[in-house]
């Protein structure tokens, strides 16, 4: 179990790093300079702050998944973190379906990706219980 749990956390950490990089390119990918200029200063700022905070969360989740995998697999605090990250990704997948639907391939792909991340954090917790 320890080995499987560690590998799932390492994979989850790598996926979080991938999301961190992906979100770092949001300004360019979504042409935010022009698109966000259409919003009020408040809404423009909120969008960018939320993206930066998500990037910090992804970095933190990756760090914990790589550097503290044994503690996450064996301690009550680690189990709480696993449950919290799994819940975050389940909620994210559900929100993706709510806002984008599942009629196009890209939303289906992202929803599946978020569900995989939820599973990577839930699996070690389910095995430990």
For residue 125, how many other CB atoms are within 10 A of its CB?
19
Mean pLDDT of 80-97: 97
35 token code pair: 């698109």
As a whole number of angstroms, the distance between CA 109 and CA 60 comes to 24
Q: Are 80 and 121 in contact (CB under 8 A)?
A: no
* Statement: the pTM of the whole predicted model exceeds 0.85: yes
Model pLDDT, residue 84: 97
Model pLDDT, residue 55: 98
Q: pLDDT per residue over 2-25, tens digit each?
A: 889 999 999 999 999 999 999 999
- Residue 128 — pLDDT band, cuts 50, 70, 90? confident
Domain ranges of the chain: 2-128
Model pLDDT, residue 127: 86
Model pLDDT, residue 1: 54
């Amino acid at each position: 179990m320890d080995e499987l749990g560690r590998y799932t956390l390492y994979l989850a950490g790598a996926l979080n790093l991938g999301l961190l990089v992906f979100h770092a390119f949001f300004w360019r990918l979504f042409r935010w300079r022009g698109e966000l200029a259409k919003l009020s200063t408040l809404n423009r700022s909120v969008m960018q702050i939320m993206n930066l905070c998500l990037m910090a969360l992804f970095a933190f989740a990756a760090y914990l998944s790589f550097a503290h995998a044994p503690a996450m697999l064996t301690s009550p605090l680690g189990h709480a973190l696993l449950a919290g990250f799994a819940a975050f990704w389940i909620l994210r997948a559900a929100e993706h379906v709510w806002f984008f639907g599942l009629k196009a391939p890209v939303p289906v792909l992202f929803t599946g990706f978020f569900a995989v991340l939820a599973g990577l954090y839930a699996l070690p917790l389910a095995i430990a219980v």
